[in-house]
Each structure stands twice: as structure tokens, then as C-alpha cells.
Chain A
């Protein structure tokens, strides 16, 4: 897996209107320049917010990707909880420091 490049794509997407337009036009092709696994490409194309969280994407990056897809705040939080339930604990990154994050108890 290549969390760095997943986050790099999202970081650049959050900053660039041109990249956002390219992503809207062809979600898959715009990822060609990044070193990504098939699982990561799928999560970015769908988009699968829950899986991206489990892959380790930092929420400070991920929440803007969710907003870009018009995903409402509480829906965004729920998708991450569902992702943990479906895919298991966060695998990498800052949220993997001490294990599972996601009690599902907070708003």
C-alpha cells in the first residue's frame, strides 16, 4: 500500500481547481501519475470514504474530499465508522498509533 501517494493525491486535489475538474471528468485517469494499489484506486474512484479512512488517510485531508463529494458532515463520520466495521482497524498512519479509532458514540 502507498498511503503517502493516496494522501498526496488528495492534498493536491484539495488545493487545485484544475485537478478537481480533471477528476470530475475522469476519476480513474487522473490517478495515473500516482503510485497506487488497485484497492487505493478503487477507494478514490468510488469514492469509499470508509476504506480511505481505514487505509490511514488523515481526516484533515479526507474531510475535504468528502465535502467535495457533497457528503454531509454526519454522513462523513458514519461512513468512517462503517469503514472500520467492514474493513477492520486503521492500518497505517497517525490513527494506527494505538489501535482502533471509532467508537461510534460521538456526533
Chain B
């Protein structure tokens, strides 16, 4: 069945871990946008949510770093971080090993992916789930793109992964949602944490909404690093969702810089209904 939902959101650990330090007005507006995203996800009737994230050395390290990895387990524990630090209690999110197996088998026809039967969710997935499936009752399939340890996954390969995810999703009867998580410009966990290039973010999200493949792939890592920080490498997760959306047009529901959260906090989705549903 075609995808029933496709969107993106921020995942910065400060969103939950440093919420007490944020301006309440903008913080609560962002949280409200997350609530709306949860309502849209629930209204879609999604039976499983595929979460494409850029995990941060929680499961994958430079001794064996995959360009792509997909979870294939019946449950995923998280957060791997200290609960007090992240502001999220320990949880066990349901997975669907059999569905993962079917999806991965199809994806592997065009993209070489690693699979993982064990995966400890870090903030890249835990923060979005905290807002979008707060009871942790919707099966999740985690997907990772290497956005952290150079050499990074090439942008065009992230796009190809998105296309493969869509093809695989279309081939199964389940109603699937796909959500990419990450920051746009940001310099997380560095001395420049809190620096945000708002103009760069808005330009990127304009390309994302137009689902303009050429424009979205017209970046290189050195320029991204200079203009958008190492956190900007996480645009790969957003690109994969664009590819999976298959030409659908997007809407930005929220995109405002919140420096203590270290990013332009973003919620956006594609209108799949006009094309596929």
C-alpha cells in the first residue's frame, strides 16, 4: 500500500532535555506543532512508522560504520542516553521484525543496507517518538543514514534509499508512515551550539517543499559544513523522505530557531493525498 504519511521533524536532545531553559512561548508553540503532527499521523491510520534518523554513535561506530542500517527487531529500547539528561524515561517501543524483513529484502534489490536485530534508540528517534507516539504503542522501524562519521553517505545515495523505501512500502499491504528526523543548520554539542543559519534553513525547506531533486542534491559537505555546521549533514534524512514522497509537495508547519535547542525547530509534511491515496 502506498505511504499514508510522510514528514520530517527535529530531534535535538535539548527539545526535551533543556526544555526548562527555553522561552516558554516559542517552546510551547513548537510542542503544539508536534501535537498537530501526532494528530495527522494518527489520522493517517498508519500501522507502523519508519523513522529515518541520523543516530549519534549510539549503535554504530567507526569500527564498522554502515552507510545505511535498518532495524529488524520486535522491540527497541531507549533512550540510550541518561534519562534525566534527555528528559525522557526509559521505554520499550514495539517493532515488527517480520515486516522489517520484507521491507529490507525489497530495499536490498537496489541499495545495500545493513540490518540490526538489536538497536538502542538515541535522541534521534526517542525525541520524535516522545511526542508522536507518547504511549509507545505504534510499531517503529528505525533507519539510520551515516551523517556523523566521514566519509558520509553521499546525498544522492540517501535519495536512492528514499526511493527504495517507497518502492518497498508500496509492495506491502500495511499502512506505513515515514518520518525523517534531524536538524537543518546547527552546530550541536560544540562551542557554537545555539548558532543557527535561519536563511539557509528557510532556503533548504523551500527546496524540500518543492521536492526539487536537483536543488536538494545541489549541496556538498564542505559548503554545508561552512554554512550549516556539521549538524547540517543530517539533511540526508530529509532528502530520503523527499525521495520517498515521490514528487509530492510539502508544507512547513513550524520552523523557528530556538537556540537553547540548537536548531531551527521544524515540523513539515508532504501532501501525499493528491498523488497516492
Chain A 1-21: CB-based contact to B (< 8 A → 1; otherwise 0): 000100110010011000000
Of B189, B195, B221, B259, chain A has the most CB atoms within 10 Å of the CB of B189
B192 — which chain A residues lie within 8 A by C-beta?
A: 101-103, 105-106
Given the complex of chains A and B, what is the CA–CA distance between A62 and B225 in angstroms? 19
Answer whether A77 and B226 are a contact pair too, CB < 8 Å, given A4-B62, A58-B57, A64-B81. no
Given the complex of chains A and B, what is the CA–CA distance between A60 and B124 in angstroms? 11
B191–A81 CB distance below 8 A: yes
Chain B 192-217: CB-based contact to A (< 8 A → 1; otherwise 0): 11110000000000000000000000
Distance to closest chain B CB from A21 (angstroms): 15
Chain A 82-107: CB-based contact to B (< 8 A → 1; otherwise 0): 00100000000011011001111111
A59 within 8 A of B: yes
Interface size class of B (residues with CB under 8 A): 20 to 34
A24 within 8 A of B: no
A61 within 8 A of B: yes
With both beta carbons as reference points, the residue of chain B lying nearest to A76 in the complex is identified as B189
B148 within 8 A of A: yes
B114 within 8 A of A: no
**B146-198: which residues lie under 8 A (CB-CB) from chain A?**
148-150, 187-195
A73 within 8 A of B: yes
With both beta carbons as reference points, the residue of chain B lying nearest to A80 in the complex is identified as B191
Answer whether A94 and B191 are a contact pair too, CB < 8 Å, given A4-B62, A107-B260. no
B222 — which chain A residues lie within 8 A by C-beta?
A: 97-98
Given the complex of chains A and B, what is the CA–CA distance between A102 and B192 in angstroms? 5
Q: Determine which of B61, B62, B189 lies in contact with A59 in the assembled complex, contact meaning CB atoms within 8 Å.
A: B189
B230 within 8 A of A: yes
A4 — which chain B residues lie within 8 A by C-beta?
A: 62
Distance to closest chain A CB from B227 (angstroms): 10
Given the complex of chains A and B, what is the CA–CA distance between A42 and B260 in angstroms? 31
Given the complex of chains A and B, what is the CA–CA distance between A106 and B187 in angstroms? 10
B189–A101 CB distance below 8 A: no
B101 within 8 A of A: no
With both beta carbons as reference points, the residue of chain A lying nearest to B223 in the complex is identified as A98
A77 — which chain B residues lie within 8 A by C-beta?
A: 191, 193
A105 — which chain B residues lie within 8 A by C-beta?
A: 192, 195
Answer whether A98 and B225 are a contact pair too, CB < 8 Å, given A58-B148, A60-B56, A60-B148. yes
Q: List 13 additional A-B contacts (Cβ < 8 Å) besides A94-B148, A101-B187, A107-B194.
A: A7-B57, A7-B61, A11-B57, A14-B57, A15-B58, A60-B188, A64-B82, A67-B82, A73-B21, A77-B193, A94-B150, A97-B225, A98-B222
Task: Pick the 6 closest A-B CB pairs, nearest first.
Answer: A59-B189, A102-B191, A106-B194, A60-B56, A63-B189, A107-B194
Query: Could you list 14 examples of A-B contacts with CB < 8 Å?
Result: A8-B62, A8-B63, A14-B57, A58-B149, A59-B188, A60-B56, A60-B189, A64-B81, A67-B85, A73-B18, A77-B191, A94-B149, A94-B150, A101-B191
